[in-house]
Chain A
Amino acid sequence: MKHVRLLALTEALPQASLALAETESFHPDDRPPTETQLSALPGRAYRDLYSQAHTRLDKITRLIPIEPPTAIGQIRVVDVDELGALNDWLGKRWEEASSYEEDLRRLDDQERLVREQQAALQNFAHLNIDLGMLRSKTRFLDIYVGMVPRENLRRLEGAVGLAGYLLHSYMQLGDITHVVILGPTGEKESKLGPVLAAAGFQSLPIPEELDREPAELQRDLDAKRHSIAEQRQALRATLEAWAAPYRDQLLDARHTLMLAEPLVALDPSLRSAGHLAHLAGWVPARAVKALRQRLSESLNGAFELTVRNPRPEERLLVPTVPVKSRWLTPFAMLVNQYGIPAYGEVDPTPLFALTFLLMFGSMFGDVGQGAVIAGAAWWFRGKLGRFWPFGLMAGLASIGFGFLYGSIFGYEHVLPALWMSPLSDPLLMLSIALGWGVVFLTVACLLAIYNRLAIRNWPDAVFGHHGVVNLVFYLALIAGSLQLSQGKGFGVMPMVLIVLSLGALAAHSWRHQKAPVGEKILVVFIETLETVIGYVSNTLSFLRVAAFSLNHVALSIAVFTLAGMMGTFGHILTVILGNVFVLVLEGGIVMIQVMRLQYYEGFSRYFSGDGHAFAPIRFRRGLS
């Protein structure tokens, strides 16, 4: 990755932004330049115009949907004047469209009111009273029928009580309560108005001629709703007719805004002084030449491009180019859950993918169940998106180990094992798992050392956690243990190496402590003990790889034992349900265990994950 600094004419920024977007290789660097003169923000006005125009277009197209563009068409410069003119035009169109939206809202309001009226009348239909009395106030009684938001009900009840009124709630629909409020006609009546307004009370008009048949009234209200629906349809048609001559222009507007987008994306990193504009960013080393060429063509040579290597203190600012392989993408997604590789750090994705498949396959080796996983991933590939190859490969790994173990849907004697069934030699399985753990931890330590050497962090590469001295200690410990298990004793050489490495670690720790002597001794002792215990327990942690492969066979045996107690139908059903159980439960647990080994035993040793992804400015996906 290279750091580039582009100096160009301020007026040429739109051209420059298009050239940068076309190459898809420029990741902006938002830090201001060191030259204090370059303090103006030349892209701010452009960004504000773009933002307003974009909002207006979005609002218009919410009312009149237009086809999403399939290609960006000819690439051309959108200057600030053109953007301003487009923004004004969109402003006028939105003003017109907004009035239609307001009309639609009014119709929605009317329809809602009629619906509430229907509900209220349906409720009143059960009462044996003259509903005409509710329509207007009488000589002595003042009556309000209407709705109020439920949350305001209790306060309104208290408030109308103070004015000498009674509130009766007779129906609840969603967050709206239907109420009747009644009280004596008189001067208090005028005081109730502001309270009702404050509580959001909405009066429900009681229709004339309430002495008619309820069915007839409902028919009238249905007719009202029908009429509102017709008005809405007519309004939609008017809106369509209004929009017809503008459709092409709106589509053009969308294209124009897409062409303006790259310069807006560059805004935070743009600075200028008069006619001179400054822009900095990160470009992959292999893309610098093409970028320079494209800028030459676009700006006719009126620019200066300075390229340099990232400085050590900039390491965390340099973006990392993500993995592009389709097959590795799902594994990269899992790696990114932990963190994004920092610049210079080994991208763990390929190693993660390989070790994940090996461990998953060995712990869940079964031809049939693996085929189900792979088949399900393939079948649901539409829904799983970019994640489906992960399921497919996990299934294939399971199939591969299934052939090695001779296991199909738990049956151990149908397929001849290419190697052996795990349960036939559990000790061998456990030994292999331990060996795998040693290899895994050694590779993890080597990567940790490499990552530190890559950034010239020599002290940590040698003395840091999982550095050279730690690795020497660990390998000596393994060698000694191996000899011990073969009855040859621990051996002098491993012992010397262990003592020397632990001594070196303790001395290093002692030098870096700033505490009283007693505390230093305690810390150094605990740290040394933690190193010994940590490596031993981390290696033993890999026994789970063998344990789950044994567990898989044991579970299958349990299923077949149960099935053996049943009749033919029960046998088949138990085998099917047992396989489903193993697939879901054990499959899930194995997945979690493998992830745990990867994240805890692997990543925590060598992967910092504090980088950020390379995100170059580009035209929207699918357009360029």
Chain B
Amino acid sequence: MSHVADQAYLSTLVSAMSTRLFDVPLMRGLSQRSLQSLSDAFGLAPLLDDQPTNAARSRAIEQSLIHLLLTELRILIRPMNADARGLVLDWGRKYGLSNLKTLIRGKLYDLDPQEIRENLFELPSDIHLSGQELLRAENVLELLRQLEAGPHRHIARQAREVYEQQRDPFALEAAIDQRYYVGLVRRIMAFSNDHLASLRRLLGAELDRIALLWLLRFRFCYQLSPSETYYWLVPSMRLLTRERLLQLVNLETFEQVLKALPEPLDAVVAESKTIAEVQQRIGRHTSDEMRWVLARSQSGVARALAYLMLRETDLMLLFAAVQGQLLQFPETTVQIALELIEPTCAWDAHQAA
């Protein structure tokens, strides 16, 4: 069976599901809609009515949107082979990792187990990474022992240091995120040439975005040294490669970093004044790359992943709009969150640098 024939069903499925992506007028209209209109249009009314507080409503809506995304993920993986399924499931496991972080943070700060449980996403078993054992740990030391003995032992050392030296759990969570992206890169590199180019383009764009934002934040917000900043970054297989990152982290100012970026990133973020602005611009650039893969790639798995990434962005924007209405934010703030206008009041890169 030829490669195209092999991908026919998956590609058709992706094309059919792509009609669910938000178009520009819908996206623009999100910030102007009332809470009632949003809940009617997206079937959120029962979630809003059943919850007693705004925090609970917000949580229920986020949970429901993630559930929707993961349901679509599970539909898409059905016709995939083992490698493709593994990659897409690994991508979805970011929500499992989010649960893991919540769990560890909650235990480290001795929060009530019920409160921790309420903040965990309900996930399917193949996405859920934190075993019941971790949830049942009754004190921090027990949690650390379980981390050391279980599949998450790679982060156990950071967790122990956070606990013993009363440090901020930044290092721990950064280690979890870093391992997640390194795992995705490894998965992609194992694919055959039929898929590799598209997957490199897709994940490369995402990793370029992550690496640039982390670099700017770690260097100029958290004031980490070049060596520590470099350590936490995940090199991309596209533009921000290992060598490029070694060079970028050694630069002293925000502007120098932006100017030293390779094409086309330098043009995308040129003249940006804040990290929020960079985030918006590179976010749009990454979405364009995803749309390109979705529209033109021959690889079913790359198209499916591009669809899921775009769908995730849409759903999170919808969530931002609902949350903006729940918290009664001004329309301008909601528009900034929806990336419809560029931020004007965010952190000033000059001052921090």
A residues with CB within 8 A of B? 52, 55-56, 91, 94-95, 98, 101-102, 105, 149, 151, 155-156, 158-163, 191-192, 194-195, 197-200, 202
Are B231 and A198 touching (Cβ within 8 A)?
yes
Chain A residue contacts of B136, Cβ below 8 A:
52, 55
Within 8 A of A (CB), among B219-237: 224-228, 230-232
CA of A198 to CA of B148 in the docked complex: distance in angstroms? 16
Is B250 among interface residues, defined by CB-CB distance under 8 A? yes
Chain A residue contacts of B182, Cβ below 8 A:
151
Q: Which 4 A-B pairs have the closest CB atoms?
A: A159-B231, A162-B227, A191-B225, A159-B227
Partner of A191 from B157, B171, B228 at Cβ < 8 Å: B228
CA of A329 to CA of B138 in the docked complex: distance in angstroms? 44
Distance (whole angstroms) from the CB of B229 to the closest CB of chain A: 9
Interface flags for B152-164 (1: CB within 8 Å of A; 0: not) read 0010011001000
Closest to A149 in B: B154
Chain A residue contacts of B304, Cβ below 8 A:
none
Is B145 among interface residues, defined by CB-CB distance under 8 A? yes
Contact A198:B175 (CB < 8 A) given known A155-B231, A163-B225? yes
Q: Could you list some 10 contacts between A and B, CB below 8 A?
A: A98-B138, A158-B246, A159-B227, A159-B231, A161-B227, A162-B250, A197-B158, A197-B171, A198-B175, A198-B232
Are B154 and A151 touching (Cβ within 8 A)?
yes
CA of A155 to CA of B231 in the docked complex: distance in angstroms? 6
CA of A202 to CA of B156 in the docked complex: distance in angstroms? 13
CA of A56 to CA of B136 in the docked complex: distance in angstroms? 9
Instruction: Add 6 more A-B contacts to A52-B136, A151-B154, A198-B158 (CB < 8 A).
Output: A105-B148, A155-B230, A158-B246, A162-B230, A162-B250, A194-B225
Are A197 and B161 touching (Cβ within 8 A)?
yes
Chain A residue contacts of B148, Cβ below 8 A:
105
Chain A residue contacts of B145, Cβ below 8 A:
101-102, 105
Are A91 and B138 touching (Cβ within 8 A)?
yes
Chain B residue contacts of A98, Cβ below 8 A:
138-139, 141-142
Is B242 among interface residues, defined by CB-CB distance under 8 A? yes
Is B249 among interface residues, defined by CB-CB distance under 8 A? yes
Chain B residue contacts of A158, Cβ below 8 A:
230-231, 242, 246
Are A195 and B231 touching (Cβ within 8 A)?
yes
Are A195 and B227 touching (Cβ within 8 A)?
yes
Number of interface residues of B (CB under 8 A): 27
Are A162 and B226 touching (Cβ within 8 A)?
yes
Closest to A108 in B: B148
Chain A residue contacts of B227, Cβ below 8 A:
159-163, 191-192, 195
CA of A191 to CA of B141 in the docked complex: distance in angstroms? 29
Partner of B228 from A101, A198, A200 at Cβ < 8 Å: A198
Chain A residue contacts of B228, Cβ below 8 A:
159, 191, 194-195, 198
Distance (whole angstroms) from the CB of A87 to the closest CB of chain B: 12
Distance (whole angstroms) from the CB of B164 to the closest CB of chain A: 11
Within 8 A of A (CB), among B123-170: 136, 138-139, 141-142, 145, 148, 154, 157-158, 161
Closest to B165 in A: A197
CA of A94 to CA of B142 in the docked complex: distance in angstroms? 11
Q: Is the interface of B mostly helix, strand, loop or mixed?
A: helix
Chain A residue contacts of B171, Cβ below 8 A:
197-198
Chain B residue contacts of A194, Cβ below 8 A:
224-225, 228
Are A162 and B141 touching (Cβ within 8 A)?
no
Interface flags for B200-228 (1: CB within 8 Å of A; 0: not) read 00000000000000000000000011111
Chain A residue contacts of B175, Cβ below 8 A:
198
CA of A328 to CA of B159 in the docked complex: distance in angstroms? 54
Are B158 and A162 touching (Cβ within 8 A)?
no
CA of A149 to CA of B157 in the docked complex: distance in angstroms? 11
CA of A192 to CA of B141 in the docked complex: distance in angstroms? 28
Within 8 A of A (CB), among B158-196: 158, 161, 171, 174-175, 182
Chain B residue contacts of A163, Cβ below 8 A:
225-227
CA of A162 to CA of B229 in the docked complex: distance in angstroms? 10
CA of A102 to CA of B141 in the docked complex: distance in angstroms? 7
CA of A199 to CA of B175 in the docked complex: distance in angstroms? 9
Closest to B230 in A: A159
The winner among B138, B145, B224, B250 for most chain A CB atoms within 10 A is: B138
Chain A residue contacts of B139, Cβ below 8 A:
95, 98
CA of A191 to CA of B224 in the docked complex: distance in angstroms? 9
Chain B residue contacts of A160, Cβ below 8 A:
227
Distance (whole angstroms) from the CB of B48 to the closest CB of chain A: 21
Chain B residue contacts of A197, Cβ below 8 A:
158, 161, 171
Chain A residue contacts of B154, Cβ below 8 A:
149, 151, 200
Are B138 and A94 touching (Cβ within 8 A)?
yes
Distance (whole angstroms) from the CB of A302 to the closest CB of chain B: 35
CA of A163 to CA of B246 in the docked complex: distance in angstroms? 11
Chain B residue contacts of A202, Cβ below 8 A:
157
Chain B residue contacts of A162, Cβ below 8 A:
225-227, 230, 246, 249-250
Distance (whole angstroms) from the CB of B298 to the closest CB of chain A: 33
CA of A194 to CA of B148 in the docked complex: distance in angstroms? 21
CA of A105 to CA of B144 in the docked complex: distance in angstroms? 10
Chain A residue contacts of B246, Cβ below 8 A:
158, 161-162
Distance (whole angstroms) from the CB of B171 to the closest CB of chain A: 5
The winner among A91, A98, A163, A198 for most chain B CB atoms within 10 A is: A198
Chain A residue contacts of B230, Cβ below 8 A:
155, 158-159, 162
CA of A220 to CA of B161 in the docked complex: distance in angstroms? 29
Within 8 A of A (CB), among B291-334: none
Distance (whole angstroms) from the CB of B176 to the closest CB of chain A: 12
Distance (whole angstroms) from the CB of B133 to the closest CB of chain A: 8
CA of A374 to CA of B148 in the docked complex: distance in angstroms? 49
Distance (whole angstroms) from the CB of B317 to the closest CB of chain A: 33
CA of A355 to CA of B249 in the docked complex: distance in angstroms? 75
Interface flags for B226-270 (1: CB within 8 Å of A; 0: not) read 111011100000000010001001100000000000000000000
CA of A95 to CA of B140 in the docked complex: distance in angstroms? 12
CA of A162 to CA of B175 in the docked complex: distance in angstroms? 20
Chain B residue contacts of A52, Cβ below 8 A:
136
Chain A residue contacts of B142, Cβ below 8 A:
98, 101
Closest to B132 in A: A55
CA of A558 to CA of B50 in the docked complex: distance in angstroms? 78
Partner of B138 from A95, A156, A200 at Cβ < 8 Å: A95
